[in-house]
Amino acid sequence: MALPLVSCIVPVFNGERYLEEALDSILAQNYRPIEIIVVNDGSTDGTARILAGMQGAIRTLQLDNRGPSATRNLGWQAAAGEFVAFLDQDDLWHADKLARQMARFDARPNLDLCIAHAQPFWVDELREEAARLRDHPRAKAVPGYTTGALLAKKKVFERYGGFDDSLWFGDATEWFLRLADRGAIMELMPDVLLYHRMHPANHTRRRTNASKEEFLQIIKTMLDRKRLRDGSVVPYRWPKLDSESDRSGKL
């Protein structure tokens, strides 16, 4: 019996420096069949040239600087696969990422989405920062509540909605919180399957007032939703690693 198609969505904006490495890590996956959809969000660097050289291996969609949420939404809406995964232009997947996560769906057919752990790594330009943070919790693998560590059924997006395109920094956080609040069935794997590149232009390294305001608004919206639903405020806890995920293989 044929295995389900996984659609791999790559949003990109001026990603020429690391894009080929990211795409190569998808092409190196030990799982097939896959399709790769790159959503080019109005890049002005050499991104278009890189994508043109990979036609046949990828499908390219175009937007005009709409932001990361809108590019991801266009990607999953265009996906032909039963399952959807995402990878940012500067990150990398472990070669077994899709295979290990698809195995969890085989073991638990009612699963809506599966999340792996993410390991940060620093480019040479930031070697001093990397040395300073070597023993810091920020340098350790963490639960990947980020799009790159996710594998989800496409119908989950159709049922619960996509990413909030008014958010530029907290779109993934809002999405995970919304799905957990609505009872989506999630599993957190112990496996490190996403490698998150830390570099000078990486927006996740920047802590701006705009990003702080976004996260505060996400928390306020979540609390307001709880008040409207049941008149109470309950402390939120991320879904815990359950006994099923303990049977996943580790690196």
Q: What is the pLDDT of residues 116-153, one digit of tens each?
A: 999 888 666 656 665 566 666 565 667 878 999 999 99
Q: Which residues pair with 58 in a beta bridge?
A: 55
By the 10 Å C-beta count (0-12 exposed, 13-18 middle, 19+ buried), 2 is classed as exposed
- The phi-psi region of residue 237 (left if phi > 0; otherwise alpha if psi is between -120 and 50; otherwise beta) is beta
What residues make up the domain containing 163?
6-207
Q: What is the pLDDT of residues 52-77, one digit of tens each?
A: 999 899 999 999 999 999 999 999 99
Residue 169 domain-assigned (yes or no):
yes
Q: What CATH number is associated with residue 116?
A: 3.90.550.10
Residue 233 domain-assigned (yes or no):
no
Residue 239 domain-assigned (yes or no):
no
Cα–Cα distance list, 27 to 37, 45, 59, 127, 151 (Å): 12, 23, 13, 29, 16
Low-confidence ranges of the chain (pLDDT < 70): 122-141, 199-200, 202-251
- Supply the pLDDT for residue 88: 96
Give CA–CA dist 83/121, Å, rounded: 27
Residue 243 domain-assigned (yes or no):
no
Q: How many domains does the chain have?
A: 1
Q: What's the token pair of residue 238?
A: 């991320």
- Supply the pLDDT for residue 245: 40
Residue 27 domain-assigned (yes or no):
yes
Residue 245 domain-assigned (yes or no):
no
Residue 14 domain-assigned (yes or no):
yes
